[in-house]
Structure 1
Amino acid sequence: MTPFPLSPDDTVYLNAPNLQQETEKILRLRRAGRISDRDWLLRHAALTDRQTLGADPADGKVQAALQRSVGQLIAFDTANGTTAGPLTTDDPAWAADPRGYIRQEYAIWATGNLRP
């Protein structure tokens, strides 16, 4: 598989925990009921985004997982008015770049929740 270049926006994950640690943490929080639905959807979508960086854009399985994650986050934010970033869920930019929505929202969340 040919590695594809990463977007400059991928720096949003610079201080994110490694994939295994983050997966274990959000699953543990979810089982204990200590993570909000929104944080679960956001962090899960960010994990999916990170796990699929460099994947072949023609890989239907990868794209379906990514679309499902971002779709759930956008649906939740639309229904609850919980978009944190400047571009809301109905912005046309997300049709062309759904990963951008995850990254916008994760960057804002990470500012208050992650230590460098």
Structure 2
Amino acid sequence: MPTNTTTGPAAPTPGEAYADAPEPHVETAAMLNLVRADHGTPQVHDREWVLRHAALLDRAALPAAAPARAGSGAVAGPGGGSNPAAVGAAMQLRQMDRHGGTGRGALGPDAPEWDGEEGAIGYLRQEYLVWRSGQLSDLAAVGAAMRAMAEVTDDNVRSGQAAGRGEPWPRGQLLDLARRRVAAYVRAVDFGVDAVADQRRAEAELRQLEAGGGSARA
């Protein structure tokens, strides 16, 4: 049986796996958005949520001395060992991929390199790196998300200028803008853009408009 290691050639280091990971608060918001999109359905059967949740737990357990490239978003943990919760989530991901054939990395979930707790963490890091690289490599989707965010920002400025001239946009038009703003910020957060505060403001405005309270600009 091979010796399990999360830093051997089979698994990326934390710095490699999480080099392009969003900041923890941004990733947490993205995961909450996933839950909302599924109308509160339990996420234990959603592979993307399990993967991102396990990676977030793993990052939180990394010691301050863990090798990581600048901008990795890795969180220094007080312990320095694997977080039991992260190990459990990583094992859940591996089991999910073994049953569903959903693994995407070079070594499949049945590989002996992934046996044991350290092996499960290594598998998690492999799968997160593959998933995140694939997400960011979809340049068309990334570009569309950034354009949508810029467009709703411009439209929000125009609506404010119109209100300042005493020519406020009709409520229906403001509702459409508020919905587009929420959707644009949700998508941007999913790609790791720190638009969490913008999303919350847009959601608050949308709630007020839907309740018939008019514009609720921050």
CA contact (8 A) 2:90 2:121 kept: yes
1:51 matched to 2:60: yes
Higher RCO structure (Cα 8 Å, ≥6 apart)? 1
Shift of 1:73: 0.4
Shift of 1:31: 2.1
- Aligned residue identity for 1:85: G
Structure 2: 5+ residue stretches without partners: 1-6, 64-78, 137-190, 193-218
Write out per-residue CA displacement over residues 23-50 of structure 1, whole angstroms, 9 at most, x where no aligned residue. 1111121122188811111111111111
| 1:9 match | 13
Q: Please provide the CA RMSD for this pair.
A: 2.6
TM-score (norm 2): 0.44
2:29 and 2:96 mapped to 1: Cα distance? 23
- State the percentage of identical aligned residues: 40
1:12 and 1:56 mapped to 2: Cα distance? 17
1:92 and 1:29 mapped to 2: Cα distance? 32
Write out per-residue CA displacement over residues 33-89 of structure 1, whole angstroms, 9 at most, x where no aligned residue. 1888111111111111111111333x8xx3x20221111101111110001012111
Greater Cα radius of gyration, structure 1 or 2: 2
* 1:39 aligned counterpart, secondary structure: helix
Structure 1: 5+ residue stretches without partners: 1-6
- Aligned residue identity for 1:56: G
Shift of 1:21: 0.8
